[in-house]
């Protein structure tokens, strides 16, 4: 299979259903899944153009998830860093993270397709919890795939999934983390094409990056309205953590057409970026085909995908969504690694300065904000993608 060349031309509004972001994206899948994904893409296009689907989605986001999530002025954090910082409080959503926005939308697509079983992969456990939650809501069976190392690291979320009625399937393959959970879920999907794969991030084969982007775009749409109401202008800077990239693209999506708004993505730097004990895909990776799409990936000298590492189970992934690959190459978004110790320090800083315990994933964005914003006085929004109950006691 010949890798496509890296492209540079991209218009979000005209290409969001094409499966390509520049020359990134596509669907590199076995024939058994090709038809399934084609049907999913058509169903997705029809659904989001259907006012009845939009009304139903809005109802569940409002009355079940609890949207809109607040945009909170973090005054003590702002004073500590020397900037004016707002937090987009996705941690206050039902289930405690942004993941529920996407699973509600995908579950409604699954209903539209007549599916009875949802399957999902999870690393930090938040997507697994969110998928189990909507499966319970809509009376569906749920199977969640998770690496055994992440099962150990994220025990509270494992118990939540089981309480919600999900069947947990663990894998010891590779590093037994998120990449391996995705492999296991894709393998099951190939063998059981009648199930609905509720993919958790803006990664994988078309149409998943566009589906996840669409259902997470509510974050950015709300944040744009809220910051204009609060400050009378757009922010100078946006920051979000980036693993596969769903919470980040959800926030960034509403501001991509505003060149004055700078955007920063915090990757999981791990403990040694140069030595590749890292999950900094956009910093260290190269474009290749990985898990059904063409994007950046951490690879070895032969161009084969390698294992990632981060203290954060949600960022511990060697790939990245294809839209982020395009945004990196065009320079629209700047991506930087945040080391484990920096993220842990930010985890403690936000907890003690604001009384808000963030997910360790979100703490990466707080740490990058401390570097980018210090002493600038600039107006910024940090996407607080999830809460840190699952991480308490780990550091």
Query: HEC string of 325-379?
Result: HHHHHHCCCEEEEEEHHHHHHHHHHHHHHHCCCECHHHHHHHHHHHHHHCCCCCE
Any domain includes 370? yes
CB count within 10 Å of CB 208 equals 29
**What values do phi and psi take at 337, rounded to 5?**
-75, 140
The SS3 assignment for 29 reads: coil
**What values do phi and psi take at 269, rounded to 5?**
-75, -20
Do 205 and 335 belong together in one domain? no
The SS3 assignment for 263 reads: strand
The SS3 assignment for 9 reads: coil
Do 112 and 127 belong together in one domain? yes
Q: Which residues of 302-315 are buried (b: 16+ CB within 10 A; e: fewer)?
A: eeebbbbbbbbbbb
CATH of the domain at 183: 3.40.50.1100
Domain extent, residue 92, equals 66-97+217-391
Is 385 part of the annotated catalytic residue set? yes
Q: Helix (H) and strand (E) counts for the chain?
A: 15, 15
Q: Which of 36, 99, 179, 328 is catalytic?
A: 99
Do 333 and 228 belong together in one domain? yes
Q: Which of 217, 253, 370, 385 is catalytic?
A: 385
Q: What pLDDT is stored for residue 17 in this prediction?
A: 65
Residue that is last in its domain, among 209, 241, 261: 209
User: What is the DSSP secondary structure assignment for residue 251, as one 8-state letter?
Assistant: H
Is 99 part of the annotated catalytic residue set? yes
User: What is the DSSP secondary structure assignment for residue 235, as one 8-state letter?
Assistant: -
Do 272 and 167 belong together in one domain? no
Any domain includes 1? no
CB count within 10 Å of CB 352 equals 13
Q: Token pair for residue 61?
A: 């986001």
Block means of pLDDT (10 residues each) for the chain, 395 residues, are 30 60 95 93 98 98 98 98 98 98 98 97 95 98 97 94 98 94 93 94 97 98 98 98 98 98 98 95 97 97 95 95 98 98 98 98 98 98 97 89
Q: Which of 121, 149, 262, 267 is catalytic?
A: 121
Residue that is last in its domain, among 160, 182, 209: 209
The SS3 assignment for 91 reads: helix
User: What is the DSSP secondary structure assignment for residue 319, as one 8-state letter?
Assistant: B
**What values do phi and psi take at 69, rounded to 5?**
-80, 145
Q: Token pair for residue 101?
A: 């926005």
Do 89 and 199 belong together in one domain? no
Query: Distance between CA 220 and CA 222 in Å, rounded?
Result: 5
Do 139 and 167 belong together in one domain? yes
Q: Token pair for residue 107?
A: 């579950």
Do 304 and 340 belong together in one domain? yes
Cis peptide before 207, with omega less than 30 degrees from 0?
yes
| Nearest-10 crossing angle of helices 340-354, 360-373 | 90
Do 183 and 245 belong together in one domain? no
19, HSE (Cβ side, Cα atoms, 13 Å): 16
CB-neighbour burial class of residue 358 (10 A; exposed 0-12, middle 13-18, buried 19+): buried
Is 162 part of the annotated catalytic residue set? no
Do 131 and 79 belong together in one domain? no
Q: Which of 135, 194, 195, 189 is nearest to 160 (CA)?
A: 135
Do 115 and 242 belong together in one domain? no
Query: Distance between CA 12 and CA 17 in Å, rounded?
Result: 9
Do 230 and 281 belong together in one domain? yes
Any domain includes 14? no
Any domain includes 155? yes
What is the number of domains present in the chain?
Answer: 2
Do 254 and 158 belong together in one domain? no
Q: Give the N- to C-terminal CA distance of the chain in Å, as an integer.
A: 43
């Amino acid at each position: 299979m010949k890798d496509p060349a890296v492209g540079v031309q991209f218009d979000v509004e005209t290409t969001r259903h094409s499966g390509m972001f520049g020359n990134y994206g596509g669907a590199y899948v076995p024939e058994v899944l090709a038809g399934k994904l084609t049907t999913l893409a058509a169903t997705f296009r029809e659904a989001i153009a259907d006012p009845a689907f939009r009304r139903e989605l809005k109802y569940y986001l409002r009355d079940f998830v609890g949207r809109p999530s607040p945009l909170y002025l973090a005054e003590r954090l702002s004073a500590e860093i020397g900037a004016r910082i707002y937090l987009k409080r996705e941690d206050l959503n039902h289930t405690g993270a942004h993941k529920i926005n996407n699973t509600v939308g995908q579950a409604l697509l699954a209903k539209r397709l007549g599916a009875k079983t949802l399957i999902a992969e999870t690393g930090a456990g938040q997507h697994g919890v969110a998928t189990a939650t909507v499966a319970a809501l809509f009376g569906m069976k749920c199977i969640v795939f998770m690496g055994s190392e992440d099962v150990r690291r994220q025990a509270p979320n494992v118990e939540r999934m089981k309480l919600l009625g999900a069947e947990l399937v663990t894998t010891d393959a590779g590093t037994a983390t998120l990449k391996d959970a995705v492999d296991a879920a894709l393998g099951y999907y190939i063998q059981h094409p009648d199930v609905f794969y509720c993919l958790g991030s803006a990664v994988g084969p078309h149409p998943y990056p566009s589906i996840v982007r669409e259902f997470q775009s509510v974050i950015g749409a709300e944040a744009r309205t809220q910051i204009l109401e609060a400050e009378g202008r757009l922010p100078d800077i946006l920051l979000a953590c980036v693993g596969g990239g769903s919470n980040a693209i959800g926030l960034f999506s509403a501001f991509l057409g505003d060149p004055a708004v700078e955007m920063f993505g915090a990757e999981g730097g791990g403990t040694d970026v140069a030595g590749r004990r890292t999950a900094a895909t956009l910093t260290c990776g190269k474009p290749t085909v990985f898990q059904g799409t063409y994007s950046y990936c951490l690879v070895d000298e032969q161009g084969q995908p390698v294992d990632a590492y981060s203290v954060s189970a949600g960022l511990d992934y060697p790939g990245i969504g294809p839209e982020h690959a395009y945004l990196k190459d065009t320079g629209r978004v700047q991506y930087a690694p945040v080391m484990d110790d920096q993220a842990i320090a930010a985890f403690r800083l936000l907890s003690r300065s604001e009384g808000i315990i963030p997910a360790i994933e979100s703490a990466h964005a707080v740490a990058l904000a401390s570097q980018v914003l210090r002493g600038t006085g600039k107006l910024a929004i940090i996407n607080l993608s999830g809460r840190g109950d699952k991480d308490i006691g780990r550091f």
